Amino acid sequence: MIKHILSAMIYFIPLMAISQTEKYHEAFVEDFSDTTSAYFRYGSTGNKSDFKYKLGTNSPSEEGTKILSFKIDPTDSAGAGRGPEIISRKFTHFGTYAARLKIPQVIDIQPNVGAVVGYFTYHMDSIPGLSEIDFEWLLADPTVIYIGTWTGHSGELKRVGRIINLAEGIIYSTVYREDHNDLRVPLTDLQNQPDSIVAIADYDASARFYTYGFDWYPDRVRWWILHPESGEKIVLWDYQGTERGIPQHHSHYRMNFWHTNNWSVQTNENSIEKPLQPYELEVDWMSYEPFKRDSK
């Protein structure tokens, strides 16, 4: 009997290891040069319009670059899941995430547009709750970047977030909040580093491609951008000194583009209009590099 049990255990353990390995992505770079992706699947709960999502298409703004093209459907209703979205086929976890992208340039066409580009991780689990780390841009002001995390359970979500005007070198806010009880606490010390930002001249997320990224550790999240001229890594926020607000469990790696009718950009309270045209988001590539143990 013992022999049979040991034999079964020897057989079972490798299967468990294979199963766990298959759940998570290894390091990858998706350059969107092909019409399909080994790393991402398409997901949208909105209209099934073919034009919303294309892989391996030519960039209209940078010759020789193949892109992931997201076009917003003006007939889609508001909501983060309604517009085009890609979702990693497997889970990702602690590691370095990066992407090169250009958001739509629409201010001269529709200055009060209510539209959001999200570059982020997201996974809701019933026990540990939400695991989300994000970059977001609202098209009505492409000089402003929203960065932060969401954790907690449905109905009791918690946010640590920073709002930056990178063209002017302004940090509008760095705050911990709980929406279910209206709690708002400005962050200080290690949770507020750097406490000032040097402007990137003429920064405009819709005028050219920029490379953005974040490093996700168990006790730290660091958001950054590569300077478009020098290639220097500019740290936008290095949140550390506490585990509060830092997701601990795995997530899915994502990009999306959607209409908001209730979130206006920091600099324009009127920017909640329905998009009038199929504005286009261009994504050159996305990458993921999982951390080794003890990596910092």
Domain with 181 in it: what CATH number? 2.60.120.200
Report how far apart, in Å, the C-alpha atoms of 43 and of each of 40, 47, 116, 257, 258 are. 9, 11, 16, 11, 12
Q: Cα–Cα distance between 172 and 197 in angstroms, integer?
A: 11
Q: What is the pLDDT of residues 23-75, one digit of tens each?
A: 999 999 999 999 999 999 999 999 999 999 999 999 999 999 999 999 999 99
Which pTM does this prediction carry?
0.92
46, HSE (Cβ side, Cα atoms, 13 Å): 24
Give domain status of residue 24, yes or no: no
Task: Report the number of distinct structural domains present in the chain.
Answer: 1
Contact status, residue 74 vs residue 274, Cβ threshold 8 Å: yes
Give domain status of residue 18, yes or no: no
Give domain status of residue 285, yes or no: yes
Task: Report the DSSP pairing between strands 85-88 and 252-259.
Answer: antiparallel
Give domain status of residue 173, yes or no: yes
- Which range of residues forms the domain containing residue 205? 29-290
Average pLDDT over residues 73-88: 97
Tokens linked to 40: 């991402």
Contact status, residue 224 vs residue 236, Cβ threshold 8 Å: yes
- Residue 22, pLDDT score: 77
Q: Tell me the residue ranges of DSSP E strands in the chain.
A: 28-30, 40-42, 53-58, 66-71, 85-88, 95-102, 115-125, 129-138, 144-153, 156-165, 170-178, 183-186, 210-217, 220-226, 233-240, 252-259, 280-290
Q: Which residues, in sequence order, are bridge partners of residue 225? A: 212, 234
Q: What is the pLDDT of residues 120-175, one digit of tens each?
A: 999 999 999 999 999 999 999 999 999 999 999 999 999 999 999 999 999 999 99
- Residue 176, pLDDT score: 98
Give domain status of residue 142, yes or no: yes
